[in-house]
């Protein structure tokens, strides 16, 4: 070992080792590099030392550090020798395969139903027709591994862009991070990716929740139960919570968090089973009995509102006579809407998402976040506040 090498601090030696491995393509674009702990164990150093090495790699543009996920090899102009990761061979593709020269845009979505999702697809399909291109769909059912496989498979198919409705969870999967690192044209639906430059199309959930809460206030409701799945960094849910709280603050009404249920598990894609729904209904019943002052329920999703209706029915409560229910989205039934709801502009979201992917391919950068307004649709599930019998 040369005197120069021996005199170097350990963090610099680790930096040079990883840098050389990246240049030599041991780690390719989008690949995860060892963590602070892994590097510390490998080189017999503290995490402070290994952290400094990773920070130096990040400052030199070799990696991107994503809290909660790890560090990933960056696609930098200074690292032209780095070979693209699996699936990245399609990133520079300008003409899709086997489509007669027409563009192919992939869609990864958790699932869809009449209440939410179908309208998104209609909007995307309309945009695909207007632009003489095609939409390819794959459902993930909210399972992260299915989502990763869908993204990888669509890249291998040779899609020219992606629209992704991410599964709910604490973190976005590594495949989405790779797309951001490699600057592949993609947009997110209903979510925005914190800390990463990725375009998103969603409802202005804060304003929508304010609108729905104010409607309940106007009907005289003050003790409102708020029903939601665990937020877990799901930005749409976080924004609806923020709007609910903000509406209270603007009216000078105290938010009573004891009236909330924030662990409706059957609303999560992976929890969609009748046994889970039964447990959640029992939970809502117990909650309404514990807090008889509740006169209205604000559900963050249509399927949660359905649970609330079943709970009220089992308790012998009438809707809206004894308790009012409002939610996001509701299918039209027999020409009317049984539930008062905030109707999202799903068609507009889907169409805008598709068009923005095409713009990204052409070099135009759309706004990082596009927010569309929701419309309050009064239905048969809300009425003036009336105290329930205790």
Q: Are residues 332 and 284 in the same domain?
A: yes
Contact 91, 104 (CB under 8 A): no
**Do 214 and 337 reside in the same domain of the chain?**
yes
Query: What pLDDT score does 242 carry?
Result: 95
Contact, 166 vs 147, CB < 8 A?
yes
Same domain for 226 and 309, yes or no, is yes
One domain, residues 284 and 210:
yes
Number of domains in the chain: 3
In the predicted structure, residue 355 carries a pLDDT above the cut 90: yes
Nearest Cα neighbor of 340 from 372, 370, 311, 308 is: 308
381 is a domain residue: no
Per-residue pLDDT, 182:
81
Kindly report the pTM of this predicted structure: 0.73
Q: In this structure, are 338 and 219 located in the same domain?
A: yes
Task: Using the predicted structure, report yes or no on whether residue 201 has a pLDDT greater than 70.
Answer: yes
- Packing angle of the helix pair 144-157, 174-181 (nearest 10 deg): 40
CA distance 256 to 311: 21
CATH number (domain holding residue 25): 1.10.10.10
Residue where a domain terminates, one of 79, 110, 129: 79
Nearest Cα residue to 159 out of 318, 357, 339 = 357
Q: Is residue 382 part of a domain?
A: no
Query: Has residue 48 got a pLDDT over 50?
Result: yes
Which has the closest alpha carbon to 105: 346, 372, 350?
350
**Residue 171 binned pLDDT confidence (cut-offs 50, 70, 90):** low
- Kindly report, residue by residue over 131-146, the tens digit of the pLDDT: 999 999 999 988 888 9
The maximal CA–CA distance of the chain, rounded, in angstroms, is 85
Same domain for 152 and 64, yes or no, is no
* 261 part of a folded domain: yes
Sheet arrangement for strand 32-33: 32-33, 70-73, 63-66
Q: Are residues 140 and 109 in the same domain?
A: yes
pLDDT tens, position by position, 285-298: 999 999 999 999 99
Query: Where is the domain boundary, 37, 52, 79?
Result: 79
Find which of 70-74, 107-111, 178-182, 374-378 is predicted with most confidence, using mean pLDDT: 374-378
> In this structure, what CATH number is given to the domain that contains residue 183?
3.40.50.2300
One domain, residues 224 and 190 = no
Which strands make up the sheet holding 296-299, listed edge to edge? 260-261, 224-227, 296-299, 324-328, 340-343, 375-377
Does any domain span residue 314? yes
141 with 167, same domain: the answer is: yes
**Residue 300 sits in the same domain as residue 332:** yes
- Annotate 260-287 with three-state secondary structure: EECCCHHHCHHHCCHHHHHHHHHHHHHH
Looking at the structure, do residues 209 and 334 belong to the same domain, yes or no? yes
Neighbours of 143 (CB within 10 A): 16
Q: Are 345 and 372 in contact (CB under 8 A)?
A: yes
Residue 79 CA: distances (Å) to CA of 3, 17, 64, 83, 136: 29, 16, 14, 9, 33
Q: Do residues 143 and 255 both lie within one domain?
A: no
Residue 282 lies in a domain: yes
Pairing of strands 104-109, 134-139: parallel
Higher pLDDT among residues 86 and 320, named by residue = 320
389 domain residue, yes or no: no
106 in a structural domain: yes
The predicted structure's pLDDT at residue 78: 41
Calpha distance 201→348 (Å, rounded): 9
Asked if the model's pLDDT at residue 208 lies above 50, the reply is yes
Domain end residue (candidates: 37, 58, 79): 79
- CA separation for the pair 164, 155 (Å, rounded): 13
Percentage of the chain beyond pLDDT 90 is 51
- Helix boundaries (H) for the chain: 3-7, 10-23, 36-43, 47-59, 118-130, 144-157, 174-181, 205-218, 235-251, 274-290, 302-315, 346-361
Domain carrying residue 267:
205-344
In a domain, 387, yes or no: no
CA distance linking residue 26 with residue 93, whole number of Å: 24
């Amino acid at each position: 070992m040369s005197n120069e090498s021996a005199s170097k601090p350990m963090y610099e030696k680790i930096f040079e080792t990883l840098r050389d491995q990246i240049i030599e393509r041991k780690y390719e674009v989008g690949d995860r590099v060892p963590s602070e702990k892994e590097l510390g164990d490998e080189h017999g150093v503290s995490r402070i030392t290994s952290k400094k090495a990773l920070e130096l790699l990040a400052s030199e543009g070799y990696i991107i550090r994503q809290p909660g996920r790890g560090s990933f090899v960056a696609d930098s102009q200074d690292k032209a020798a780095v070979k693209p990761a699996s699936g990245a061979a399609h990133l520079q593709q300008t003409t899709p395969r086997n489509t007669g020269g027409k563009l192919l845009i992939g869609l990864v979505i958790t699932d869809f139903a009449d209440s939410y999702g179908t309208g998104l697809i209609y909007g995307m399909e309309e945009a695909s027709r207007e632009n003489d291109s095609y939409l390819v769909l794959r459902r993930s059912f909210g399972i992260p591994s299915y989502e990763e496989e869908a993204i990888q498979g669509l890249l291998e198919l040779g899609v020219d862009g992606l629209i992704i409705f991410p599964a709910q969870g604490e973190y976005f999967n590594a495949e989405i991070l790779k797309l951001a690192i490699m600057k592949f044209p993609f947009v997110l639906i209903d979510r925005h990716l914190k800390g990463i430059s990725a375009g998103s199309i969603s409802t202005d959930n804060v304003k929508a929740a304010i609108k729905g809460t104010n409607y309940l206030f106007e009907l005289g409701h003050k003790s409102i139960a708020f029903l939601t799945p665990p937020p877990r960094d799901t930005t749409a849910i976080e924004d609806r919570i923020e709007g609910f709280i903000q509406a209270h603050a603007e009216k000078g009404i105290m938010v009573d968090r004891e009236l909330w249920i924030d662990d409706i598990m059957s609303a999560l894609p992976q929890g969609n089973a009748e046994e889970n729904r039964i447990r959640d209904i029992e939970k809502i019943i117990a909650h309404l009995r514990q807090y008889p002052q509740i006169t209205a329920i604000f559900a963050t999703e249509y399927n949660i509102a359905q649970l609330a209706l079943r709970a009220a029915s089992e308790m012998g409560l009438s809707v809206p006579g004894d308790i009012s229910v409002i939610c996001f989205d509701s299918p039209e039934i027999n020409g009317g809407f049984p539930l008062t709801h905030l109707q999202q502009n799903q068609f507009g979201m889907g169409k805008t998402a598709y068009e923005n992917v095409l713009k990204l391919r052409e070099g135009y950068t759309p706004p990082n976040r596009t927010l569309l307004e929701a419309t309050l649709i009064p239905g048969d599930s809300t009425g003036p506040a009336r105290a329930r019998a205790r």
